[in-house]
Amino acid sequence: MKNYKLLLFALSITGLVFTSCDPSVEAPGAEDTSKITYLPKITLNGESEIELDCDTSSFTDPGAIAEAGGTEIELITKTTGLYFGSENIDSPDSYTITYSAFNDDEIPAAAFRSVLWAPCTGDFVTSISGVYTSAIKRTPGYTTPEDVGPIYIKDMGNGVFAISDAIGGWYEHEYGYGPDYAATGMTVTANSIPLNDWTHDDIIGVGAFGGALEMTDFSVNPATKTIEFTTEWSFGYVFEVTLTQVN
């Protein structure tokens, strides 16, 4: 009996030795591994807000640098014209430049630059381009208690002028919803500015709200440097807008 117990003890010790040497057994805490990741960082070259003269001939983006852990990484740049749709800063508009980058773990970073290129002031003889403030009456609704803005009118050439917001900034400025709610894309064509002869047949939406907006009346007053127009929205609203030119 004594020899039998010694044999069982020896076999138990042997089993423990072989089990502890088995490479398939996971060591305690092996799953608690950690990894260092360096977050991406974007540094702008120059100012974050740039204002250009109206007669600027060209613009070069100062750019930015993207890094992760002190090593430069790929930088993605996108330019958006808020009102007139250009993806290049080559004519008047209010632009946002978005710089973005990703590190090796696809963690993102972003930085932004705004570039304002206001249109030059028209003479109301050959051009109505320029920067304006806006007074609006919405029916049904109410009248803005004071002028809002800015509203931009851009000379597109060949007598065509584009308006940054064909409801005068009602949602963008009066309500403070921002440019995503501006009625962009409306144009008028000057057959004769002195004779107040205009063509306006665009049908557009009202920003993120959509619908169909149509201009029913448009006239200018060279003596007061003001513009009056009316737009009707398919959602049941009429906007009567008076624009006053700002030097």
pLDDT digits (tens, 9 = 90+) for 148-167: 999 999 999 999 999 999 99
Q: Who contacts 162 (Cβ-Cβ below 8 Å, separation ≥6)?
A: 83, 84, 153, 154, 156, 185, 186, 187
The amino acid at residue 65 is: I
When pLDDT is averaged across residues 27-50 and rounded to a whole number, the result is 81
- Does residue 132 contact residue 153 with C-beta atoms inside 8 Å? yes
pTM of the model as a whole:
0.82
Tokens (6 digits) for 232? 């009707």
Q: In what order do the strands lie in the sheet with 148-157?
A: 197-199, 186-192, 160-163, 148-157, 130-139, 237-246, 226-233, 210-221, 203-206
- Which helix (DSSP H) or strand (DSSP E) does residue 18 occupy? helix 2-20
164-214 pLDDT, tens per residue?
999 999 999 999 999 999 999 999 999 999 999 999 999 999 999 999 999
Cβ contact 93:185 at 8 Å: no
